[in-house]
Structure 1
């Protein structure tokens, strides 16, 4: 999505920045790891294909992506940093992983219901083992969900504009959040359960368990520690 092209999300435990061209090389190195490929159900791509993916994700109307970085230094957050400069706070050595939102039409049980609903699938990847088990994943998902709820009108407006530049007749509403997790990924399952997600159904054909969360007002009301949406600035020749 283009919505977050110039926005970063800062909390006490992580910094989320838009996925830019500058991040691809490091991201590609992560995805060379077979264990990460398996955990994210991803295929190995060439570096050129990874650059193409970054551009397509930015243009996509139904996918929102942030790169997870180490949190801003306390001196910056204490003085209320109003912007994040590309290349410093999100340098390769400060990158931790990524978090994504995928939007899908919700299949309503009522065929006569004029209201259009969408489901927001959330996934997160913490790349390095040294960054896992510290509560970063939970903090990131919490901040990401809060960002989505705060900006849901703008997100759904962009989603409602299809790839041909047209617009669906009915303005959609976000019905729920959903996460699909490999049944043996106990840490991810524990993470989403700790945030209030509930299992729906049994393990599917792909060995995944589906978790859902519908109390969107609760997410809006609970502000993550140090949460702030700040400007993300970059040189004019960078994407």
Structure 2
């Protein structure tokens, strides 16, 4: 095994850390700014999660502040998660120049919600189907005053475009560090280039606005009836980047790009 002479670390370790960091960068658009979930976001996020309606909508239990900080670290570092805070865009983005964000860009008053990707391997109920990688998305616009303003659709489309464009890096990190079953890893790699089978979302049957949002963006319900938990699962299998680019245009979301983040944990 080849090790770095100075650190004693295998090169794959450094590749994994580099990939982990490079996948968690701010994403710009004319409507929203997505920033990696960081420690300075926790107090505002914790306030949101004390709301019983939000707890119900997200199927979450209230956590202490210390537990919330621990969860933030997990969401930031784990290979099976990709988590961003959604902020209002307060300036006109110039994607080509990769603008540097200020502390005001993702300050508490500009935070409106969060969007997450949870990766899993699906091999059927009995475990006898070829393993497939599913990307489950969770989206929350926390306060009622920020709902119905297009933040959710803009964030979802920007997020999907980024994930699709960086599919190989996202999935390589996931399979290398986030899948414990050796046989599943072997089968996934033997099947060819790593690729998503679909994007998935689970939405409570009474959350009509969220159902309408995902219905309108090509997510199909797996069943006409909600499951035992009162949720619909919707999946999108058309993951071409050009379709998402077109949907961004229809939604009036422009200026997609990346930013430079100078703040550090």
TM class by shorter-chain length?
0.7 to 0.9
Query: Please, what TM-score do these two structures have when normalized by structure 2?
Result: 0.80
Find the counterpart in structure 1 of residue 58 from structure 2: 40
Task: Work out whether residues 95 and 258 of structure 2, in 8 Å CA contact, stay in contact via their aligned partners in 1.
Answer: no
- Describe the superposition over 1:17-69 as per-residue Cα deviations: whole angstroms up to 9, x where unpaired: 00011100110011011111111000000000000000011111111101000
Task: Work out whether residues 69 and 95 of structure 1, in 8 Å CA contact, stay in contact via their aligned partners in 2.
Answer: yes
Of 225, 230, 238, 2:258 maps to 230
Distance 1:4 1:140, change over 3 A: farther
Find the counterpart in structure 2 of residue 129 from structure 1: 144
Give distance in 1, aligned partners of 2:235 and 2:129.
Answer: 24
Q: Once the 2 structures are TM-superposed, how far is the Cα of residue 155 of structure 1 from its aligned partner? A: 0.3
Find the counterpart in structure 2 of residue 96 from structure 1: 112
Of 30, 34, 37, 2:48 maps to 30
Q: Once the 2 structures are TM-superposed, how far is the Cα of residue 124 of structure 1 from its aligned partner? A: 0.5
Task: Work out whether residues 80 and 178 of structure 2, in 8 Å CA contact, stay in contact via their aligned partners in 1.
Answer: no
- Describe the superposition over 1:57-100 as per-residue Cα deviations: whole angstroms up to 9, x where unpaired: 111111110100001412xx258551342522101111010001
SS at match of 1:209: strand
Between Structure 1 and Structure 2, which shows a larger proportion of strand residues?
1
Give distance in 2, aligned partners of 1:21 and 1:219.
Answer: 34
SS at match of 1:83: coil
Of 49, 54, 57, 2:72 maps to 54
SS at match of 2:196: strand
Task: Work out whether residues 121 and 178 of structure 1, in 8 Å CA contact, stay in contact via their aligned partners in 2.
Answer: yes
Task: Work out whether residues 157 and 244 of structure 2, in 8 Å CA contact, stay in contact via their aligned partners in 1.
Answer: no
Task: Work out whether residues 124 and 137 of structure 1, in 8 Å CA contact, stay in contact via their aligned partners in 2.
Answer: yes
Aligned CA-pair RMSD: 2.5
The reply on whether 1:214 has 2:237 as its aligned counterpart is: yes
Distance 1:30 1:49, change over 3 A: same
Unaligned segments of structure 1, at least 5 residues: none
Q: Once the 2 structures are TM-superposed, how far is the Cα of residue 229 of structure 1 from its aligned partner? A: 3.1
Of 35, 45, 54, 1:17 maps to 35
Task: Work out whether residues 177 and 212 of structure 1, in 8 Å CA contact, stay in contact via their aligned partners in 2.
Answer: yes
Of 174, 189, 197, 1:175 maps to 197
SS at match of 1:176: strand
SS at match of 2:258: strand
Q: Once the 2 structures are TM-superposed, how far is the Cα of residue 186 of structure 1 from its aligned partner? A: 0.2
Bigger Rg over Cα: 2
Task: Work out whether residues 23 and 92 of structure 1, in 8 Å CA contact, stay in contact via their aligned partners in 2.
Answer: yes
Q: Once the 2 structures are TM-superposed, how far is the Cα of residue 220 of structure 1 from its aligned partner? A: 5.1
- Describe the superposition over 1:167-215 as per-residue Cα deviations: whole angstroms up to 9, x where unpaired: 8333342000111000000000000011111111121111101111101
Q: Once the 2 structures are TM-superposed, how far is the Cα of residue 135 of structure 1 from its aligned partner? A: 1.6
Query: Please, what TM-score do these two structures have when normalized by structure 1?
Result: 0.88
